[in-house]
Structure 1
Amino acid sequence: MDAIKRYILAHELQTGDPLPTEAELCADLGVSRSSVREAIRKLDALDIVHSRRGSGSFVGAMSLDPLVETLILRSALDAGDGYKSLAEVVDIRKALDLGIGVDLVRAIRGTRNPQLRRCVANMRERAEKGESYYEQDISFHLGLLNYLNNRILSQLTSAMWLIHRTVGPTLRQAERETSILTATAHDAILDACEKGDLDDYYAAVELHYAPLRDLLDQPDPART
């Protein structure tokens, strides 16, 4: 497996590029065909390689999908601990938002973002109707991250959101007022970024996550 990864690096292959055939890899790496097949199978599971029946193997997307699947399974296995795993995911999301504060505020300062404003308005509208707004929420955060042009950070944020969305339905619905407050906090985040006010940004992030964290800290009704 490591030999194939080294091959990809040495030949500067990119996502979608074809790998040599099994026979060619065996000759190049000096290993057996069964070893190559086993390595390809493991790399496929990690999204490093993508195998297509009848077409061969190609360099994969190298996404965070395997991480997502692992954490979703872990959350399911941790069901006996209430919302512990989901709370940890929320803490990671909050840490990411706080950690990028300086760069994000610097990048967005002085701009205007009508599309993100509409996204927040849509969140608030859905919250007032008692509806969830997962799609609008992730679109807002990814919209902010576009300013940083950091592909890995965007993928990590999307991964954390996918885990939250998958595990989240087990969480009881937040009160309407709490949901509206969380939606409104996104306006405060965007206000702070556009003004270039880092302290306001940090305060808005805290406001954004506080209601959800409070909800997660309450006893799991399934266990009471």
Structure 2
Amino acid sequence: MARGTLSEDVQGQIKQLILERRLTPGDPLPTEAELVGLLDVSRNSVREALKALQAMRIVEIRHGFGTYVGPLTLEPFVEGVAFRAAVRHHQGESSLYELMEVREALESGLIATVARDLPPEDLAVLKGLVARMGEEAAAGQVNGSTDRAFHLALYRSLGNQLLSDVLDAFWEALRRVRDDLSDGPRDPRVTHHQHAEIVAALEEGDGDRAVEAMHRHFGDIRRRLAE
């Protein structure tokens, strides 16, 4: 069996072991020696497989302590998408637009559903974040952490963790590329106003208005990317 194929096979066996034992993030895995015996493979094969799984955040190797089930985040996806977009941007392709269009398609497609049944407690959280944006805008810059928290809170009521993770992954990928490429100054007052418009539409339960507000928000990003 080829070296790469063997490593992939061992990775698959370790993932199957995690599933069969119903392990969750932070749970310890069998020791390296135990995995060698369980899987009937060499120590080097186990080490290679664990390193590959660690890169995917499926396992976490804590030197001196052991190996544990990893956080299972989309971080490898974010890194890959962001770097791909940066490379293509430097080749003259419209990779930033593509990233932004994916986010816009996802968020504008979901916001009307949110508007129909937004829990009062989620609306209160969004209002609080918009108020914080206003304070930050007055000080000269809306913090990225506030913007990120807003977009996470926006879709919390849908109760879909994978959807939240995917939306956050695209938010983070676009942020990384824009920060690396310094896509131009952003008027914090406009950022605050656009998010306030979204919340106002949600408070009225007006899905169409919320969709329009979301498109205006992304339209501003498109304008700055074009400049």
Give the TM bin, normalised by the shorter chain.
Answer: 0.7 to 0.9
Say yes or no: does 1:203 pair with 2:212: yes
The aligned counterpart of 1:222 is none
The aligned counterpart of 1:173 is 185
The aligned counterpart of 2:98 is 88
Give the secondary-structure state (helix, strand or coil) at the position aligned to 1:100. Answer: helix
> CA 1:109–1:189 in structure 2 vs 1: closer, same or farther (change >3 Å)?
farther
Cα distance between partner residues in 2 of 1:37 and 1:110: 50
Aligned residues: 215
Cα distance between partner residues in 2 of 1:84 and 1:126: 31
Answer whether contact 1:111 1:194 (CA < 8 A) is retained. no
Residue ranges of structure 1 left out of the alignment (5+ in a row): 219-224
Say yes or no: does 1:153 pair with 2:163: yes
Cα distance between partner residues in 2 of 1:87 and 1:205: 16
> CA 1:133–1:87 in structure 2 vs 1: closer, same or farther (change >3 Å)?
farther
Cα distance between partner residues in 1 of 2:77 and 2:51: 17
The aligned amino acid for 2:16 is R
The range that moved more, 147-156 or 90-99, is 147-156
> CA 1:66–1:209 in structure 2 vs 1: closer, same or farther (change >3 Å)?
same
| Alignment deviations for residues 88-117 of structure 1 (CA, whole Å, 9 cap, x no partner) | 221121122123234312330666734422
Give the secondary-structure state (helix, strand or coil) at the position aligned to 1:147. Answer: helix
Cα distance between partner residues in 1 of 2:161 and 2:130: 23
- 1:4 corresponds to which of 3, 14, 20: 14
Answer whether contact 1:15 1:60 (CA < 8 A) is retained. yes
Identity of aligned residues (%): 37
> CA 1:198–1:74 in structure 2 vs 1: closer, same or farther (change >3 Å)?
same
| Alignment deviations for residues 160-210 of structure 1 (CA, whole Å, 9 cap, x no partner) | 222232222310113x3xx53343122222222232222112111111111
The aligned amino acid for 1:216 is L
| Alignment deviations for residues 116-143 of structure 1 (CA, whole Å, 9 cap, x no partner) | 2232233244445542432221111112
Cα distance between partner residues in 2 of 1:46 and 1:72: 16
The aligned counterpart of 1:39 is 49
The aligned counterpart of 1:184 is 193
Residue ranges of structure 2 left out of the alignment (5+ in a row): 1-10
The aligned amino acid for 2:207 is L
Cα distance between partner residues in 2 of 1:82 and 1:143: 35
Give the secondary-structure state (helix, strand or coil) at the position aligned to 1:61. Answer: coil
> CA 1:24–1:111 in structure 2 vs 1: closer, same or farther (change >3 Å)?
closer
The aligned amino acid for 1:197 is D
User: Superposition pairs for residues 131-146 of structure 1, below 5 Å?
Assistant: 131-146=141-156
RMSD (CA atoms): 2.3
TM-score by length of 1: 0.84
Answer whether contact 1:93 1:157 (CA < 8 A) is retained. yes
Cα distance between partner residues in 1 of 2:189 and 2:184: 16
